[in-house]
Amino acid sequence: MRRRQFLTTGTALLAAPLAGCGHPPAVLDMDSATDEDIADEGAMLLRPDSDEYEIVTRASENGTATRQGQYDLFDRTDAVRVNGTFYEVSESRLERSEVTVYEVYVDFDPENTTATVGEIAYADLPAVDRERLEPVITDEGDRYDVSLRYGSAEELGGESVFVPERQYDIIVYEGRRYRIAADSRTAAEATYRYEVTEVASDIETFADRVRDRYLFELTGLSDAERAVVAEAIDETYYEDDEPFRAVVDRLRKHDGFEVTDGYGRWLVEYKGEEYVTYAEW
């Protein structure tokens, strides 16, 4: 199946518009959809190393789970996929509080590379620091000074060598020396409670649930509108003309996976075939 840059793969409800990406403001693309594709659109696939995976697994085993956090985990979807099983997730925000959170700043080209607090090799850092710094420290691309959200002392488990007390101000990685600074601020935090309900044990069953909610047939098109759809299926339609706008108007009359003022994604049946359909206008 064709996959283009503006269609997501493996996650649900995460597509973004292509404004500023060098294409016309009008886009219509229709990709033939398998059960797997439809399930991907309807549920977030959770990585085993993610907070979401840990919460859903714990809630499915124990009936409920709680966490302290500064943001919702499932604000974009309430359906998730874990190891081939699909769940609906209930996320309830309970009492609120305030917590001190930390940010760590990495200067990749410091004027002064001499440590005033202490220096440490990246490989010798505690795991909690390596995990947070790895994406930027080991990146071989263009280097820019960055600010990293480090989290609260509770999230760090008291294991960080940078916060709440900075024990080192220089990291050495492959002979290069980077300066580290840290700052703190007060943020709102809440207790969240989670409950999960298994809704499908296989892709086919869940895909049928998604069809029941979102699938609609695109019919009654004019010759010009059918030409737009044919090109959207074969390649991608980019003309902001009257037939294009008429097709988009038809799409917007139906519920979609995600629909905003400027773009949307739907599950469409056309001439007996199913398509994940993306439009931008």
pLDDT at res. 143: 67
Convert the pLDDT of each residue in 96-112 to its tens digit.
888 888 999 999 999 99
CB within 8 A of 35, min separation 6: which ones?
A: 203, 204, 207
pTM: predicted TM-score of the whole model, two decimal places: 0.67
Convert the pLDDT of each residue in 221-231 to its tens digit.
999 999 999 99
pLDDT at res. 139: 79
The model's confidence at residue 141, banded by pLDDT at 50, 70 and 90, is: low
Among 6-10, 126-130, 193-197, the minimum mean pLDDT is found in 6-10
Convert the pLDDT of each residue in 162-181 to its tens digit.
999 999 999 999 999 999 99
The model's confidence at residue 78, banded by pLDDT at 50, 70 and 90, is: confident
Convert the pLDDT of each residue in 205-262 to its tens digit.
999 999 999 999 999 999 999 999 999 999 999 999 999 999 999 999 999 999 999 9
pLDDT at res. 7: 28
pLDDT at res. 188: 86
The rounded mean pLDDT for the chain is 89
The residue that leads in pLDDT, 48 or 10, is 48
